[in-house]
C-alpha cells in the first residue's frame, strides 16, 4: 500500500470530551494526508508501576466511548486487553485487540483474543527478540485466526532505558504480518525511582522516521492536547498540535521508500 497506517489517540479513555477531541483532530489530518487511521485508547491501564496511578473510568463505560468514536467517524478502533476473560467483551466494542508487551507470552490471552475473530496486534515484549515473536504469531494462527499484527516497542537496555532495534522491522515482517512501530512507549524510561515512567518526547520524530524508512507498515502514536495534564504516560505523548507536521514529513519519507 502507498501509505502507512496510523494508530493514534490518547493513552487512556479519560473522558468523552477528550476522546472526541483527539479523534476529530487526527481524523481530519489523516484524511487530508491520505493516511488510514485507527483510533486508539485504552479502557484500562492494568500494569501501572505504582498502585496509586490512575487506571481508568470503568471498563464498560470506556469501551462504549471507544465504540462511539469509531461509529461517529467511521474508524476502526483498538484498545489493549489484559486477561483472557476480557477478550469476548472487548470484541463487542473494539476492532483490533492489542496484547500488551509484558503479556505477549501468555498463551491463554493470545488464544482468547484470537478466538474473537478480531484482528490481534501483539506488542513485542521488552525481553523478546523479533525472531521469537513468531511463536506469538503461531499461537494466534493455531487458534484459527490469521489476522495478526506485531508492534515493536523497544527492548530492555539497562534498568532505566529501552532501545528500538530497527532490525526487528525486517525480522518481524518476515513472519508475514504487518509491523507497527510504537513511537510512544519505545521512548519510555522505566524503573524510575519515582514510580512514574519517564520519557523523551522530543525524539518521537526520530523513532517514527527511522520506522518508516525501514519499512514499518504502521505507526502507533499516543497524542493528547495537553500531555502535561494526561492521566497516564504524559511523559511520552505527542502534543496533538505537533502531529500534522510530523505526519507530513513521514508521508514524504514513505513515498521515497516505496516509489
Binding residues for its own copies restricted to 128-157, rule: CB under 8 A: 128-129, 131-132, 135, 138-139, 142, 155-157
Which are the contacts of 165, defined by CB distance < 8 A and separation ≥ 6?
A: 130, 152, 155
Q: Based on the shown chain and the rule CB under 8 A, indicate whether residue 246 belongs to the binding site for its own copies.
A: no
- Dihedral sign, CA of 251, 7, 150, 74? negative
DSSP states along 221-255: EEEES-GGG-SS-TTTPEEGGGHHHHHHHHHHHHH
Q: Based on the shown chain and the rule CB under 8 A, indicate whether residue 15 belongs to the binding site for its own copies.
A: no
Binding residues for its own copies restricted to 165-224, rule: CB under 8 A: 165-167, 169-170, 190-193, 195, 200, 203, 206-207, 209-210, 212-215
At its nearest, how many Å lie between its own copies and the CB of residue 189? 10
SS3 199: coil
Alpha-carbon distance 204 to 185, whole Å?
10
Alpha-carbon distance 109 to 99, whole Å?
8
Binding residues for its own copies restricted to 100-119, rule: CB under 8 A: 102-103, 105-108
Question: Residue 102 CB: number of other CB atoms within 10 A?
Answer: 14
All three cell numbers of 109: 490471552
Binding residues for its own copies restricted to 24-63, rule: CB under 8 A: 46-51, 55
At its nearest, how many Å lie between its own copies and the CB of residue 63? 17
Binding site for its own copies (CB under 8 A): 46-51, 55, 82-85, 102-103, 105-108, 125-129, 131-132, 135, 138-139, 142, 155-161, 163-167, 169-170, 190-193, 195, 200, 203, 206-207, 209-210, 212-215, 249, 252-253, 255-257, 259
Amino acid at each position: 500500500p502507498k501509505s502507512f497506517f496510523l494508530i493514534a489517540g490518547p493513552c487512556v479513555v479519560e473522558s468523552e470530551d477528550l476522546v472526541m477531541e483527539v479523534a476529530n483532530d487526527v481524523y481530519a489530518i489523516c484524511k487530508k494526508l491520505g493516511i488510514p487511521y485507527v483510533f486508539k485508547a485504552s479502557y484500562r491501564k492494568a500494569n501501572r508501576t505504582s498502585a496509586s496511578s490512575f487506571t481508568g473510568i470503568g471498563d464498560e463505560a470506556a469501551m462504549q466511548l471507544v465504540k462511539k468514536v469509531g461509529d461517529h467517524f467511521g474508524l476502526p478502533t483498538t484498545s489493549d486487553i489484559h486477561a483472557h476473560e476480557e477478550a469476548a467483551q472487548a470484541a463487542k466494542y473494539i476492532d483490533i485487540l492489542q496484547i500488551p508487551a509484558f503479556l505477549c507470552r501468555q498463551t491463554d490471552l493470545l488464544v482468547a483474543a484470537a478466538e474473537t475473530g478480531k484482528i490481534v496486534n501483539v506488542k513485542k515484549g521488552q525481553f523478546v527478540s523479533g525472531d521469537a515473536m513468531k511463536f506469538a504469531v503461531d499461537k494466534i494462527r493455531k487458534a484459527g485466526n490469521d489476522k495478526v499484527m506485531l508492534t515493536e516497542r523497544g527492548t530492555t537496555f539497562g534498568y532505566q532505558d529501552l532501545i528500538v532495534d530497527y532490525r526487528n522491522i525486517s525480522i518481524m515482517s518476515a513472519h508475514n504480518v504487518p509491523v507497527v512501530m510504537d513511537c510512544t512507549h519505545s521512548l519510555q524510561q522505566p524503573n524510575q525511582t519515582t514510580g512514574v515512567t519517564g520519557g523523551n518526547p522530543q525524539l518521537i520524530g526520530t523513532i517514527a522516521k527511522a520506522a518508516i524508512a525501514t519499512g514499518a507498515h504502521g505507526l502507533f502514536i499516543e497524542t493528547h492536547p495537553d500531555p502535561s495534564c494526561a492521566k497516564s504516560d504524559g511523559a511520552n505523548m505527542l502534543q496533538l498540535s505537533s502531529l500534522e507536521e510530523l505526519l507530513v514529513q513521514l508521508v514524504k519519507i514513505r513515498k521515497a521508500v516505496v516509489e
